[in-house]
Copies of this chain bind each other. A is one copy, B any other.
Amino acid sequence: MDTPDRFHFCTRRTVEFADTDMAGIVYFTHFLRYAATAEQEWLRSLGVRFLATDGTLAGGWPRVEASCRYRAPARWQDELRVALRVREVRTCGFSYDFWIFGPGAPAGEALAEGFCAVAHVALDPATGQRQKTPLPEELRRRLLAPPDQPLPAV
């Protein structure tokens, strides 16, 4: 998977001490959390409302699949950049590739890269159950737009 030069969304975060393990590096599962947190920030920026007026979840975006390839470790205090790019848009969900950049990898290369597929669910008022629900049309349109965000400078 080559690193593209345009993404649908990019964000930054700094590695916290609590994310490290006794090998002195970020524990591997946190990369997937970093990607999922970026995804939520991105969806919010696209107008997705996650919370109902009472503060509970209005619907949800359960994971269908997640994967990550690890190239180089991240360490405490590293300033990371997380970049996402839509891979596929489906009726009731979508998938994206992600890249995590940091000082532990050569310029232009990612520490880690991965993939995540999520479903869109909403509460069915008739049954009180969450069930797969088509993406709102406006969101679908945004997800299908070509990626136009360059990776922010270090």
Contacts and interface: CB of A to CB of B under 8 A. Distances in A.
B68 A66 contact: yes
Interface in A61-85: 62-70, 73, 75-77
Q: How big is the A interface, by class?
A: 35 or more
Interface in A5-30: 16-18, 20-25, 27-30
Given A17-B22, A18-B37, A67 B65 contact: yes
A77 B63 contact: no
A90 B28 CA distance: 21
A28 B76 contact: no
A135 B29 CA distance: 24
A98 B33 CA distance: 20
Nearest to A67: B67
Contact of A65 (B18, B40, B68): B68
A29 B57 CA distance: 19
Contacts of A64: 69-70
Nearest to A37: B16
B17 A66 contact: no
Contacts of A76: 22, 50-51
A147 interface: no
